[in-house]
Structure 1
Amino acid sequence: MKLVTIHESGLGVKLENAVLDITKALSVYPEEGIPTDVMAVIGHAESAIPQIERYVERVLEASKGDQTAYLLEESQVKYGPCVTRPGKMICVGLNYRKHAEETNAPIPAYPILFNKFNNTLAAQGDDIPLPTRVTSQVDYEAELVIVIGKQAKYVSKEAALDHVFGYCNVNDLSARDLQMRTHQWLLGKSCDKFSPLGPYLVTADEVGDPNQLTISCTVNGETRQLSNTSDMIFHCNEIVSYISQHMTLYPGDIILTGTPEGVVLGKPVDERVYLKDGDVVTIEIEKLGALTNRMVDEQV
C-alpha cells in the first residue's frame, strides 16, 4: 500500500490513477476506527492496513462513478511529509562505496551516524528555502528512508526488517560549507526544510528487498545521481540491527540510509556548481515514486 499525507486533511491512499482522501471519504461513508493520521497507521500496521484496505474497497464499490469529493487527481493534492512526526531522524553517512570513493573518504568500519530534526521536514512539491545568509554550498543527496514500524532493541540482522513498516524517498539536503566547518556534520544538515520526504510511504511488502532498488537524482532534468541501493556498504537490515544495539527504535522513527555517488561535493573544486534559486530537484527510487522540489532563495 502507498500512503500519503494530504495537507490540512490527513491520511490518503495512492491508488493506480488517483489519491483517495480518507477524511473526506469518511464524511460520506462513515465507519468507526478508520485511522486518518499516518502515524496511527505506522504504529498499528497489522490491524490498520487490512482495515484501510477493506474500507477503500467499500468506498470504491459504493461510490460507483460519484467519487469527485474524495477521489483526487495527484495534481490536485497538496502533500504533507509522508511521515509527519518522526520521533527520531537518524542518518547514515558515507554509506555507498562509490560515494565514499568520490569524496576520497575511507570505507567506514561502522555506520557513521548523525541526526536531523523535525524542522527539516518538507513535502513533495514544497519550495525549499536556500539560507543564503549562512551558506552558498547547498548540495542534493538522494536517499532511501527506512520507517520503523515495531519497537526494536537488540534485534539481529536476520530479524531487523521485520521491524520495518515501509520506505520512502528523501532529499538529504546538505550545506557543505556548514557541514565541514567542524567535525560534527549536524549544522550543515539541519537547516529548515532540508529533508523533503515523500511523496508516498510504501509498505515493506510492496517494496521487497530494499537493497535492490534503482535510485536517482535529477537537477533541472539532468541526471546527477544514478545508482542502486545494492551499493550500500551497510545494508538496511545491518543498519536497523546496529542502531538497535545502542538505542531503542520506535514506530515512526526514520533512518536516512546514505546517498550514492554524483553529489556536487564529489566533483573537482573548479567544477562544483551548488544548488541555486529556481533549481528543480527530483529524487526517484524504484517502487517509491518521485519527489520533486524547487529551490528558492530564503525570504527573510
Structure 2
Amino acid sequence: MKLVTALYQGKEMVGLLGELEDKVLLVKHVERKCFDSKVFADTLLICLQNGEQFLKDMNSLIQWVENNQLEGELYIPLKDVKLLAPIPKPAKNIFCVGKNYAEHAIEMGSKDDIPEHVMIFTKAPTTVIGPNEQILLHKEVTEQLDYEGELAVVIGKKGRGIKKEEAFDYVFGYTILNDITARDLQKKHKQFFIGKSLDNSAPMGPWIVTKDAIKNPNHLQVQTMVNGEVRQDSNTEHFIFPIEEVISVLSKGMTLEPGDIIATGTPAGVGKGFKPPRFLKAGDKIDIKVENIGVLTNIVGESSK
C-alpha cells in the first residue's frame, strides 16, 4: 500500500496511490459512500496514530471500491493533484542516523571516523517539503549546500525500550528523504543541527510504502542522481547499524510515537566527498531512487523564500 498526502481543490487529503502510480484514491471522497460516516482523520499523521485500525479501514475501503467496480470513477489522475510530503508537519524533529555507511564515514574523514555506536542528530520539522518542491539555496548563510539520499522509516506504534527482535512491530512503513546539509555551517558550529535544519532542507516522499510491501528494508538499493549523473549508489545491506538496532537504541529511555521519522543514513558520494567538492547550485535536479519505494525529485532554486 502506498499512501500519500495530496493537495486537491485547495484541501490536503490522505490518498492511496493506484497500482500503476498514475492515479490516486482520495479517502475523503469515498469514505461516506463506503462507511456512511466519518472514519478517517484529516491528516496522515493522525491516521497513523489510530494504529492497526487505520489499515483495517483502508483495506475495507479498497475492497468496497473493487467490489463495486468503481476504480475508474473514484480514482483521480495523479497529474490533477499536488503531492505533498507524506507527513507535511511532523510532530517532532526528524531523527537522523549519522555516518551509517562506512564508505561515507571515510569520505567525510578517515577510517577513524567509522562510529562504534549509533550517532543521532535531528532536523527541525520546518525543514520538510514534498516531491517537486524547491530546495532553497540559502546563499545568504551557506556556500556549501549538499545532498544526502536516504531511506526513511516511519514509526507506527508507540513504544519505549523496544527490543531489536521486536523493532519492526513498531514500523508503519518507509519513504525517501533527502538530508540537505549546509556543510560550512555544520563545520562552523561543530554540531549538526543548524547545518541540517535550514528551511526546505528535508525533501520527503513521494509516498509512504507500508511495511508489508518491503520484504527486507536492510537490503534495498539507494541511488542519488544530480542532473542525471549517478552520485550515490549503494545498498542498505551496508548499514553499520541496521534499522532494528537504530530503533532499539533510540527507544532506550525515549518514547517513539506514531508518525516519528527516522532517516537511516546516507551512502558515499555526497558533494563534499569529491575532490574538489561538488556542492549544489541553482537549477540542479536531484533524483533519489530507493528500491521498492520510488523516486523523490526536487530542484534547487535560486530564491531563499
Shorter-chain TM range is over 0.9
Matches within 5 A, 1:88-127: 88=92, 89-105=94-110, 106-127=113-134
Matches within 5 A, 1:12-161: 12-17=15-20, 18-26=23-31, 31-35=36-40, 36-62=42-68, 64=70, 67=73, 70-88=74-92, 89-105=94-110, 106-161=113-168
**Structure 1 letter corresponding to 2:52:** E
Distance 1:188 1:215 in 2: 23
Q: 2:248 aligns with which of 233, 241, 246?
A: 241
Please name the residue that 1:3 is paired with: 3
Distance 1:188 1:293 in 2: 19
User: What are structure 1's unaligned runs of at least 5 residues?
Assistant: none
Distance 1:28 1:135 in 2: 51
Matches within 5 A, 1:258-277: 258-268=265-275, 271-277=276-282
Distance 2:70 2:56 in 1: 22
Contact 1:87 1:250 in 2 (8 A): no
State the TM-score, normalized to the length of structure 2.
0.92
Distance 1:6 1:71 in 2: 13
Distance 1:66 1:151 in 2: 37
SS in 2 for 1:202: strand
**Structure 1 letter corresponding to 2:29:** K
- Select between 199-208 and 82-91 the one with higher mean Cα deviation: 82-91
Distance 2:24 2:266 in 1: 29
Pair 1:178-2:185 in alignment: yes
Instruction: After TM superposition, give the deviation of residue 64 of structure 1 in Å.
Output: 3.6
Instruction: After TM superposition, give the deviation of residue 9 of structure 1 in Å.
Output: 2.9
User: What are structure 2's unaligned runs of at least 5 residues?
Assistant: none
Please name the residue that 2:216 is paired with: 209
Please name the residue that 2:207 is paired with: 200
How many residues are paired up?
296
SS in 2 for 1:115: strand
SS in 1 for 2:47: helix
SS in 2 for 1:41: helix
**Structure 2 letter corresponding to 1:99:** H
Instruction: After TM superposition, give the deviation of residue 60 of structure 1 in Å.
Output: 4.0
SS in 2 for 1:210: coil
- Select between 185-194 and 85-94 the one with higher mean Cα deviation: 85-94
Contact 1:170 1:197 in 2 (8 A): yes
Distance 1:230 1:91 in 2: 18
SS in 1 for 2:189: coil
SS in 2 for 1:23: helix
Distance 1:40 1:93 in 2: 28
**Structure 2 letter corresponding to 1:4:** V
Instruction: After TM superposition, give the deviation of residue 299 of structure 1 in Å.
Output: 4.4
State the TM-score, normalized to the length of structure 1.
0.93
State the superposition RMSD in angstroms.
Answer: 1.7
Instruction: After TM superposition, give the deviation of residue 54 of structure 1 in Å.
Output: 1.5
Contact 1:225 1:263 in 2 (8 A): yes
Instruction: After TM superposition, give the deviation of residue 42 of structure 1 in Å.
Output: 1.4
SS in 1 for 2:168: helix
Distance 2:128 2:208 in 1: 14
Distance 1:101 1:299 in 2: 32
Residues 116-152 of structure 1: CA distance to partner in whole angstroms, max 9, x if unpaired?
Answer: 1111010011111111111111111001111111112
**Structure 2 letter corresponding to 1:74:** L
- Select between 56-65 and 199-208 the one with higher mean Cα deviation: 56-65
